[in-house]
Amino acid sequence: MSDKCSEAFNQALEGYGTYVSAVCDFCGRTHFFSGDTTGWEDAGGVEALEEMQKKADAEPDKYVDWGEVRVSLGDIAGKQYIIGCPCNELAKYENFIWNHRILIMNYYKNQHKAMQENADRLGGQIKESDFNNT
Binding site for Zn ion (CB under 5 A): 24, 26-27, 85, 87
Report the nearest approach of Zn ion to the CB of residue 61 (Å): 11
Report the nearest approach of Zn ion to the CB of residue 13 (Å): 13
Residue 50, beta-bridge partner list: none
Question: Rounded to whole angstroms, how far apart are CA atoms 13 and 90?
Answer: 9
Report the nearest approach of Zn ion to the CB of residue 24 (Å): 3
Q: What are phi and psi of 69, to 5 degrees?
A: -95, 125
Nearer to Zn ion, 49 or 71 (CB): 71
Nearer to Zn ion, 96 or 108 (CB): 96
Which residues lie below 8 Å from residue 47, measured CB to CB, with a gap of 6+? none
Nearer to Zn ion, 18 or 37 (CB): 18
Nearer to Zn ion, 26 or 63 (CB): 26
**36 CB burial (10 A radius; 0-12, 13-18, 19+):** exposed
From the centroid of its chain, how far is CA 53? 26
Report the nearest approach of Zn ion to the CB of residue 85 (Å): 3
